[in-house]
Every structure is written in C-alpha cells, then in structure tokens.
Amino acid sequence: MLRNAFFTLVALAIAIGAGGGSVWYALDAQSGIGAIRIGAWTAFPDIGTPDADPYSQARVAREGVLALGRAEGLAFVAERDSDGEPLRRECAYTIEGQFPTARFWTLYAADQSLDAIETGRPRPAALHSYEILRRPDNSARISTGRHPAPGNWLLVPGTGTLYFVLTFYDTPIASSTGLSDVRLPRIARGSCDA
C-alpha cells in the first residue's frame, strides 16, 4: 500500500515538474507556435490579435508587455547572428542591410527578459529610424559593441546573453501578406573581448 502511494507521488512529481518545465521553456523560447523566422530575426505576428495562440497570450500576460496589434506594427527579436551563433555582449556585431518600409522603427539591445540594456548613460542602448545615417540605396550599417565605431553605433556594455529587438511601427509587413517578401538586415559577428 505504501509502495503504491510512493510510486504515485513520484509519478505526480515527475509529471508536474516536466509539464511546468516544458511550459516555461515554451514561454521563453523565441521560436515555436505562431513564430515566423526571417534570417536571424523571429517575430510573432499574431501576438497582439485575437488569433494569438495560448502560448503567445501566456507570454504577454507573464511579461506584462503591451503587444502590438496587426495594424500597429511588428517586433522582431534576434538571439543568434546570421551564422547561427548565439549573440554575446562581449562581441561586436554589424547589423547591415535594407530595413522594410515603416513609418518608424526602433532597434535596441536587450537582456534575457528583453528589457533594454542599461548603459550607465541617460539613455539605454537603442537607436531609431530618424537618427541613423543611411546609404544612397537607403540601406544602413549599424555597429554594436563596447568600443565606439564610426557611423551608426549602438553601445552594448557588460557580459552575457544579448538579444536585438527590431520593432517596426505602422508598417505593411504587419499584415500576413506583407511577410512573404520581407528582407531584414544581416547580423555579422566581429571581434570578441575575452
């Protein structure tokens, strides 16, 4: 009798632990149900709509973020560079290429909770579309890292995991048909500090 009760409790503990762990992983992952991937960037286009899947709704509720609706915009997150390597704050990166049409876009460096990285300065590690230098073909090159670089530069201090969050506001790519031929900038790794 005690043996059966013990095995029942062990089975329940395993089921609850594995179930809770899998849900936590699904909520933290930048891929999965409802995700679209364009190069190194991942987005959840339905996250702010009534069509959002239960995991997306739980992610919004847990993080307490204000999700953009389809008519408002779309946020892309990169956790790896264009070669598939995890992003690290110790490394310099170049974000280069065309940016899709949007009324306004922002790019910021984030920690694991997708909060902007504090730089120790009055403003966080962020850039927006009105302040960057563009090339004649309307493409842009943004250098990121600890050490200043000429042109567009995004300060990324500290060590550890790094994410880039690129959000487009009032853009046609937020519609389901607008995602078919979207090209986003590449993320190339440069030198890394030890």
Q: What is the pLDDT of residues 175-191, one digit of tens each?
A: 655 556 778 999 999 99
pLDDT, residue 75, reads 86
Give dist(CA 57, CA 53) in Å, integer: 6
Task: Report yes or no: 104 and 130 within 8 Å, Cβ to Cβ.
Answer: yes
What does the pLDDT average to over 70-85? 87
Q: What is the pLDDT of residues 88-136, one digit of tens each?
A: 999 999 999 998 888 899 999 999 888 888 888 777 778 999 999 999 8
Q: Which domains does the chain have, with CATH numbers?
A: 31-192 (2.60.120.600)
Report the DSSP pairing between strands 140-145 and 152-155: parallel
Quote the tokens at residue 33. Answer: 């149900």
Considering only 119-128, 133-142, 145-154, which range has the smallest mean pLDDT?
119-128
Bridge partner residues of 124 (DSSP): none
What value does the mean pLDDT of the chain take? 81
Report the DSSP pairing between strands 140-145 and 91-97: antiparallel
DSSP state of 58: H
Q: Dihedral sign, CA of 50, 54, 56, 59?
A: positive
Task: Report yes or no: 186 and 40 within 8 Å, Cβ to Cβ.
Answer: yes
Question: What backbone torsions phi and psi does residue 6 show, to the nearest 5 degrees?
Answer: -60, -50
Who wins on pLDDT, 148 or 182?
148
Tell me whether residue 19 is exposed, middle or buried, using C-beta atoms within 10 angstroms of its C-beta: 0 to 12, 13 to 18, 19 or more: exposed
